Chain A
């Protein structure tokens, strides 16, 4: 859901963007590591602890064999990501390693994890090995070893339980009655409890159309805001369907999708208008920040390059 946090986590442990990580929503798992493992926790702050001590976030660290990672109550946001060096060994389906619960495929047996599951990692890339060696230098085998560097502020989305989210006006925004258009960009919406990975239902503000319309189904995007006949908008999220037939009144700027992905039922958000151009500038800037961070991590661990050549 929070693609930015997932990718930053992978970068911190030296993985490619496509490596599988764990997504923990609201209530995190307890994970015992059978091998010393380089990991990073990013995304929402679910109060992670390692053997009872606070665990770092946005920073790579080496977990000793036998240690247990736990999560507490959500302090900020609701989804934490645990990236492990090498990534979790799950099949690549349609170019993705994610779990699609609705159709029960992808990820670990197409389902959410259960107590007792054992996950394996893939062979870590050389860069991960070198980060791990550098982090562990000067530490005992049985100790937690934390990297001296961390993800910069440009890579950490400023999560909030009441964010202002940039929205690009959609193809059918002009079908909104005038008061609806005003409300769309001024009122506070709250996240309904019937929200899931497919879509976030927004409550509290109804946005009537000028007239009912019948549309042909067509493609939708991550962040498309649909308006069903009841006037309560739905923002389509990671597990969205490929097509939809409801009016599309907006698309959330991609760079702000993590802000939405970290909201939980009851949280509120507002929208402010943005152009496609501005949204793309912000997006490309975030991509450049991430690319620069990857370069910086590789430069810091130069032996990785020798090993690859």
Chain B
């Protein structure tokens, strides 16, 4: 069978029914209207969210600024003004040596350990 014969046979296939264009147009309009209504609802909701969100953010920023102003610092932390800083090097001749026993101080910190010698060799004390 040639392609031409096949084409002649295929020409006899059932013709499709007429396209229901009017119905398709009507359904398309209905879908568009529903979608646009839904979109406008979403838009209104988004705008409300943006408005309230912006307001809340502005309030938060305002509170932060007010709370951190030096004159009205309200987070409860005491600030001590720095009066003077002694950053001179201490003279060895005039420096008063400490009379404390540092080895004992250190050992006292370790009370409670089972075997202090494991941590600090006895000879070092």
Question: Are both chains from one complex?
Answer: no
